[in-house]
Structure 1
């Protein structure tokens, strides 16, 4: 970038202190612009990573009609570790999952992808919701204690019209 400082002819010339302040202002402005560009790039990468890891379509189990829409709370909260899933289970049942890894960064999105994969694997074992979350918590601790996550895991049975659910990460 370029900084141009002008003074009218009837004003005294810039002093050394004036030039020092102008130089520092230009440096801090340039650093701010650079950080904004880098943050914008990181946010775009995290957003792409997150959306790539969300389901492109939902299953269509017999007796259940599913729909989804990802809608962030605000424009500044678009990226991070939010996820959802619907996983077919035996007997026309379906596991419904909503989770969130704290933060809005590439790291949050990457951890979200790992937790989502773990939930899919645990769902394949056909465990009750509270056991799925117990094992998910064990695996999440192995990823590190620097990150917090919340998760709601439910199993819907369209034959008995029962919904069993458990949540973890914050009070009900």
Structure 2
């Protein structure tokens, strides 16, 4: 008889425990119990103060597919896609909205790739190819978005250096103007 005793101190420790427990249950052949653990883990992920990568969010639908619940798995993937922009705005609130949303391209690429994997496992070749193409398209958009983000950060850094020089030269309003243009949330 195996007795498991644990003290979970906070939500993120509980999330870690549930994720590891789901893996252990899957390895023991108890896939439906593993799915239940991952459902509980996602509840904690939604309430967490930390961001969680798409790979972590995709564990539940992949386990559903392994449990022979393909339609439920695909519905879960689509729910993740529908929630993505809201999650990106929350997790990247310190950036301008357009940059925060552009971070979603990378996350979408991962979700589409996991959808491809689920379809491939189910021998649904055409669907797998469709999701693979969307994943590649999102990867390209992510690269484009990174160049936009890089330009924004370069512009902001240059503007801050200029404002510092103007301040040192006696323009006491230079830094105030900088922070009006780049509010605290953009730092």
TM-score by length of 2: 0.27
The structure that is strand-richer by fraction is 1
- Name the larger-Rg structure: 1
Whose relative contact order is higher, 1 or 2, with alpha carbons under 8 Å and at least 6 apart? Answer: 1
* TM-score after normalising by structure 1: 0.29
